Chains A and B, each alone.
Chain A
């Protein structure tokens, strides 16, 4: 398995650690090099297309990443896992569905399939698992994905909307959130950056409430939370570790310590001890909004990189 330093060397200056988001875990988390691509939000190249964001060089940059991953796949073969963390398509704002997005970005869609990507579903492309719900067709999308080390599940990969009360697609609030996004999407025809402005405002409100435990001051007296979804994901990992889920895994097979997500478009890598374990949350940020971030895990070493 390639180490993170091997990977940086192979990328020849294209990969750099974002901020100081690199951690050495207390145990092995993967047995293969895991590369996670967060939110891409592909659209039909219209004025509201956040992937392109009015910068043709962004497409070239992403194609550069895919070319690199294709070469890496050829070299590493099955020692590599590439996981797209959802919101690959932005079906909330698409004129049609995936159909004309494929026409707009044939090389991106073709290459990302070519590198044998594992797809996790996000809230903006959740329609992919809903269109043919009765027939069980999901177009290869999974709710979540896991990676193993030393015979046990150590990491869980999901989009992250599950922890976001305004975007959880199984709730009424999530449905309202979707409609709000649609309206904001239409406003982008007038002011293309309105989504970024409103999104940042909303995120800062949620983060402030969450960080300072406005809702749960008694339960969380420490008064500070490094990531607004940290509690949700520690609870989820603990639930798995207790064997308290409907998944097929027994407690002997599970020793989860890392959750990898996207969704917030704000990259962070945090760790926190709880009940004798150390838990990690890797928020891979986003490819869109100028993020160009990816998450990478090799054994116990993990980092968020920016592809430049």
Chain B
């Protein structure tokens, strides 16, 4: 009986902890970040201004003219913006969630 009581108390305490956490909002998360929105054609200088220098800059791949490059960040935050898109599968209307925009962020 004693064990059941202790277990009950633990479960109650833990579950009540979750209720103490306020639901986080995008605005609250972003208040501690510097972000830049990605879309095709975004200038690299804008990205690097926010993200800082990359952690890795690999050599160009074969078959390029040195102007196609990749830059790698190891510890940064990505925010995906999603929405529903109607699709037709096997003649029936269905929905899938698609990414409409991305933000790359660095902690302030």
Which residues of A are in contact with B by a Cβ distance under 8 Å?
Answer: 95-100, 102-103, 106, 109-110, 113, 128, 131-132, 135, 137, 139-140
Contact = CB atoms under 8 A, between A and B. Distances in A.
B63 to A, nearest CB: 7
Interface in B25-79: 44-45, 48, 53-54, 57-60, 62-67, 69-71
B67 A97 contact: no
B23 to A, nearest CB: 40
Return the 7 tightest CB-CB contacts between A and B, nearest first: A99-B57, A96-B57, A137-B62, A99-B69, A97-B59, A100-B57, A98-B66
Given A96-B57, A109-B67, A110-B67, A103 B62 contact: no
Contact of B67 (A95, A100, A102, A137): A102
A109 B66 contact: yes
A98 B48 contact: no
Contacts of B60: 97-99, 139
B69 A132 contact: no
* Most A-side CB within 10 Å, residue of B44, B59, B63, B66: B66
A139 B57 contact: no
Given A103-B44, A103-B48, A98 B59 contact: yes
A5 B108 CA distance: 58
Given A137-B62, A139-B60, A99 B71 contact: yes
A86 to B, nearest CB: 14
Contacts of B54: 100
Contacts of B62: 132, 135, 137
Nearest to B45: A103
13 contacts: A97-B58, A97-B60, A98-B66, A98-B69, A99-B60, A100-B53, A102-B66, A102-B67, A102-B69, A103-B69, A110-B67, A132-B62, A139-B60
Contacts of A106: 44
B64 A97 contact: no
Given A99-B60, A131-B59, A139 B71 contact: no
A97 B57 contact: yes
Contacts of B63: 137
A137 B63 CA distance: 7
B60 to A, nearest CB: 6
A103 B43 CA distance: 10
A92 to B, nearest CB: 15
Contacts of A110: 67
A132 B63 CA distance: 10
B64 A99 contact: no
B41 to A, nearest CB: 13
Given A99-B57, A99-B59, A139 B64 contact: yes
Contacts of A131: 59
Nearest to A128: B66
A102 B64 CA distance: 13
Nearest to A89: B66
B67 to A, nearest CB: 6
B65 A140 contact: yes
B44 A99 contact: no
Contacts of B71: 99-100, 103
A139 B48 contact: no
A243 B44 CA distance: 50
Interface string B69-101: 111000000000000000000000000000000
Contacts of B65: 113, 139-140
